Amino acid sequence: MEFCPKCGSRLEPKKSKNGKEASIVLVCPKDGFTKEPGKKAEPPKVGKVIQHNPTQLVAVIGKEEQKLRTLPTVRIECPKCGNNTAYVWQVQTRGSDESSTQFLRCTKCSYTFREYS
Ligand SMILES: [Zn+2]
Ligand SMILES: [Zn+2]
């Protein structure tokens, strides 16, 4: 006699057509749990857990921070928090006479803004 591993009900034998062969399977009348005799009940399949590598993530952030630290700073007032130091870098704008826009990022609140001069 077999019992449902989920709810403990007695499994009832039922005819089941599995491919070409008709076989008897044991079915739980309560929740439909099916067990094929002779086969071990398989644990429920769990989707593959994608593990993010935390150390890798930290390394990436560290790199980004390092990149920022190497940027030159200028004395300019942050329009957001009033801090007077900001990182500065230039971005080439395509198609507009090769002019470059100066970007600034506040060292305190990381607010990024452009300098119009
Ligand atoms: Zn059951
Ligand atoms: Zn700021």
Q: Which residues pair with 67 in a beta bridge?
A: none
Give me the domain span that covers residue 22. Answer: 1-40
Quick check: 78 pLDDT over 80? yes
pLDDT tens for 30-55 read: 999 998 876 555 666 667 766 666 66
How big is the chain by its Cα radius of gyration, in Å?
Answer: 33
23 within domain boundaries: yes
What backbone torsions phi and psi does residue 112 show, to the nearest 5 degrees? -105, 130
For ligand 2, the distance from its centroid to the CA atom of residue 105, given in whole angstroms, is 8
Query: pLDDT class for 20, splitting at 50, 70, 90?
Result: confident
Is 47 part of a structural domain of the chain? no
The tokens for 11 are 């499994």
In a domain, 48, yes or no: no
**Residue 27 sits in the same domain as residue 68:** no
* Residue 54 domain-assigned (yes or no): no
Helices of type H across 1-116: 54-69
Residues 107 and 71 in one domain: yes
**Active site amino acids:** 97-98
Ligand 1 center–CA 42 separation, angstroms: 15
Number of structural domains (the chain) is 2
Q: If you average pLDDT over every residue of the chain, what do you get?
A: 80
CATH of the domain at 111: 2.20.25.10
Ligand nearest to the CA of 7: 1
Closest ligand relative to 2 C-alpha: 1
Residue in the structure block whose two tokens are 């006699």? 1
- Look at the pTM and tell me if it is higher than 0.75: no
Same domain, 32 and 73: no
pLDDT surpasses 80 at 58? no
Using the mean position of ligand 1's atoms as its centre, give its distance from the Cα of residue 10 in Å: 8
Tokens 């200028």 belong to residue: 74
38 or 76, higher pLDDT: 76
Higher pLDDT, 107 or 39: 107
